[in-house]
Structure 1
Amino acid sequence: MDLSFWERSTWFGEVDYTIVGSGIVGLHAALRLRERFPESKILILEKGMLPQGASTKNAGFACFGSLSEIIDDLKIHTEEEVVSLIQKRWCGLQLLRKRLGDSIIDFRPFGGYELFLKDDDTSFNEAQTRMPFINEILKPIFKSAVFTKEVDRFGFRQTNAYLFFNPYEAQLDTGKMMQALLRAAIAENILILNQQTVTSYHESSGGVEVTLGDFSFRTKKLLFATNGFASEITEGAVKPARAQVLITKPIPGLDIRGTFHLDKGYYYFRNIGERILLGGGRNLDFEGETTTEFGLTEKIQNRLEQLLKEVILPGHDFEIEHRWSGIMGMGSSKTPIVSQLSEHVYCGVRMGGMGVAIGSLIGTELADLV
């Protein structure tokens, strides 16, 4: 970079905290650092034009896990781990709402639903059998039953006549949420530089030398909030997981309101006004979707359209208006990694596909490690 004296001193001189990633985690970390260190110089580096990964590309679900997801999680995590994770997601959602306000993020508490395909009686029966136990272990958090069984009133086809309802789920507007967080950061004199990729960093006594291509600067502390792009710094504990999404043009008379889960959360859809947003399908090709490359595949997009036509919108004419993808951070465990990697370097990564819910809390915890 051919930087002037002014540019070097204003943006890169005497930096106290550098955060890599301007998503939900990174912005909350910056805001928390500002609360703790009012006079500090805080710099956020973002490799994309907009926050990359999943923060601006998610479906806008304010959720903490469907019934079958929680049952599935209990097969690889202890009961204490699962309950703790759900509590963190719930606390994260409340933190997000408190910081930004429900009207700003267009928070809509329509509730969430889980439906099951007719040929998946095994999963439905398991969910029905395990529901009382799941409600019991979640009672200390929510003080009442979370899941109830209801008759499907939406007219879905090729599904069980019953679905499971969760009154604590809601929708929000991902774009408005991220704009509000960015505005809050700028208002707190937090510097944000886009299209800047950290190519390397070198730690020494007193701080870290951060390299951006052919330019480098010093910072006292370096915090990574890169989620799905954190495989290298976590030695493979985080694996990228691409999520493909589509959205329809407006469908006159659409009578679907809420957030919906299908197939243990591998598919999810919601209304946005009179549109349907539908995403998922990485279970069709786990290997191919374990990538940091944005993109779409015919196999998954065809399956999403098939679900729209045969299950979600039977008898409705619809057109696809737009398609996109995002990169989540997954791993063998769904527990986020909030860790001090060395004397001056920290990370808050691996949101497990629940960044909207847990990201604000993880960003706060990351800042509190410093």
Structure 2
Amino acid sequence: MDLSYWELKNWFTNVDYTIVGSGIVGLHAGLRLREKFPDSKILVLEKGVLPQGASTKNAGFACFGSLSEIIDDLRTHTEEEVVQLIQKRWQGLQLLRNKLGDATIDFNPHGGYELFLEGDQDVFQDCLGKLPFINEILKPLFKSDVFAKEIDRFGFKGIHEYLIFNPFEAQIDTGKMMHALLKEAIAKNILILNTQTVTDFHDAGNQVTVALGSFSFSTKKLFFATNGFAQKLTQNAVQPARAQVVITEPIADLDIRGTFHLDRGYYYFRNIDNRILLGGGRNLDFATENTTEFGQTEIVQKKLEQLLKEVILPNHDFKIAYSWSGIMGIGTSKNPIVSALSDNVYCGVRLGGMGVAIGSLIGTELADLL
């Protein structure tokens, strides 16, 4: 980089803490560091023009897991692990709301619903049978039942007549949330540089050298908050998972309110600005969707359009206005990785597709590793 004396002096000299990634985790880590070390110099590096990955590209679900997802998690995690994970997601949501305010993030507690396709009778019966047990293990956290069976009142087609309702779920405006977080970080004198890709780093013991291509600078501590992009530099067991999303043009007389889960969480949709936002479908081609490349594929886009036509909006004419994708970080375990990579390098990654819920807490925990 062709940098002036002023640029080097003000941005890249005497840096105390450098954070890689300006998403939910990275900005919360920066804000927490500012609380702990008010006079420190904090630099955030972001490879995108906007926060890359999933923080500005998610569906805006303030959720902690549908009933079928929780049941699936119990097959690979202990009961204690699952309850602790849900507790962390719930705590993260409260932390996010308290920090930014419900009005700022457009928090709408419409509740959440899980739909079951007509061919998923076995999944529905399994969920119905285990619903009392799940409610029981979550009651100490929520003080009441979380899941209940309700009749479908939305006019969906091709699904079981009953839905599973969760009154604790809500939706937010992802753009407003991230805009507010960025404004707060800037107000707290946290320096944010975009279109900066970290290509390497070296912990020398008394400082960390950070490489941005051919240019390098030194920082006392380095934090990675790159989630789905974490594997290359941190060598952690994080697998990227692309999520494709579409959103319709505004629909007149749209009477759908809430967050909705379908096919064990592989599809999800919600209302926003009189539109329907629908995402998912990576289960159609896991190999292709385990990528850090943004983009859309024909097989997923066709499936999303089919679900809109045949299941979600069978009685409405609609047009798809936009489509995009985000990159999540997943693994064999749903537990996030918050750990030290060396004496001066740390990471908070693998959010398991629950970044809105757990990101604020993981960012705080990442900063608290010091």
Partner of 1:264: 264
> Which stretches in structure 1 are left out of the alignment for 5+ residues?
none
Distance change >3 Å, CA 236–CA 364, structure 1 → 2: closer
AA of the residue aligned to 1:306? Q
The match for 1:241 is 241
Alignment match, 1:97: 97
Aligned to 1:135: 135
- How far apart are 1:225 and its partner, in Å? 0.1
8 Å Cα contact 2:241-2:327 kept in structure 1: yes
1:119 aligns with 2:119: yes
1: CA distance, partners of 2:274 / 2:28: 32
- CA distance in structure 2 between the aligned counterparts of 1:232 and 1:338, rounded to whole angstroms: 17
Q: 2:43–2:192: 8 Å Cα contact kept in structure 1?
A: yes
The structure-2 alpha-carbon separation of the partners of 1:324 and 1:292, relative to structure 1 and needing over 3 Å to count, comes to: same
Q: How big is each residue's C-alpha offset from its partner over 1:151-181, in whole Å with a ceiling of 9 and x where there is no partner?
A: 0000111100000000000010000000000
Match of 1:360 in 2: 360
Q: Aligned residue for 2:343?
A: 343
* Letter matched to residue 83 of structure 1: V
* In structure 2, C-alpha distance between the alignment counterparts of 1:266 and 1:332, rounded to whole Å: 16
| 1:214, distance to aligned residue in structure 2 (A) | 1.2
- Partner of 2:103, secondary structure, is coil
* SS of match in other structure, 1:74: helix
- CA drift at 1:233: 3.7
Q: How does 1:166-245 map to 2 (within 5 A)?
A: 166-245=166-245
Cα deviation, residue 234, structure 1 = 4.3
CA distance in 2, matches of 1:345, 1:233: 11
The reply on whether 1:45 has 2:45 as its aligned counterpart is yes
Aligned length: 370
Q: Quote the residue 1:58 is aligned against.
A: 58
Task: Name the SS for the 1:133 alignment partner.
Answer: helix
Cα pair 2:53 2:326 within 8 Å, conserved: yes
Q: Secondary structure at the match of 1:50?
A: coil
Q: Distance in 2 between matches of 1:233 and 1:136?
A: 41
CA distance in structure 1 between the aligned counterparts of 2:285 and 2:85, rounded to whole angstroms: 27
Q: What is the Cα deviation at residue 202 of structure 1?
A: 1.1
Q: For the residues of structure 2 that align with 1:225 and 1:234, how far apart are their CA atoms?
A: 10
Off by >2 Å, runs of 4+ in structure 1? 232-236
Partner of 1:32: 32
Q: Indicate yes or no: 2:322 matched with 1:322.
A: yes
Question: Cα offset for 1:236?
Answer: 4.9
For 1:68-126, what per-residue CA distance to the aligned partner results, in whole angstroms no more than 9, with x for missing partners? 00000000000000000000000000000000000000000000000000011010000
2:317 and 2:273 mapped to 1: Cα distance? 16
1:286/1:23 CA distance change after superposition, 3 Å? same
Read off the aligned partner of 2:242 and give its amino acid letter: R
Q: Note the C-alpha offset of 1:364.
A: 0.1
Distance in 2 of aligned mates of 1:196 and 1:267: 33
Structure 2: unaligned runs, 5 residues or longer: none
* CA distance in structure 2 between the aligned counterparts of 1:96 and 1:178, rounded to whole angstroms: 11
Specify the alignment match of 1:288 in structure 2: 288
Deviates more, 1:354-363 or 1:200-209: 200-209
Aligned to 1:144: 144
Identity %: 74
SS of 1:103's equivalent in the other structure is helix
Within 2, Cα distance between the matches of 1:232 and 1:216?
18
Cα deviation for residue 266 of structure 1 reads 0.3
Alignment partners' CA distance in 2, 1:34 and 1:236: 27
What SS class does the counterpart of residue 104 from structure 2 fall into?
coil
Give the Cα separation in 1 of the matches to 2:14 and 2:235.
Answer: 30
SS at match of 1:288: helix
Q: Is the 8 A contact 2:200 2:233 kept in 1?
A: no
In structure 2, distance between residues paired with 1:212 and 1:303: 40
User: 1:315 offset after TM fit, Å?
Assistant: 1.9
Instruction: Tell me the SS of whatever aligns to 1:156.
Output: coil
Looking at structure 1, the residues matched to 66 and 273 of structure 2 have their Cα atoms a distance apart, in angstroms, of 23
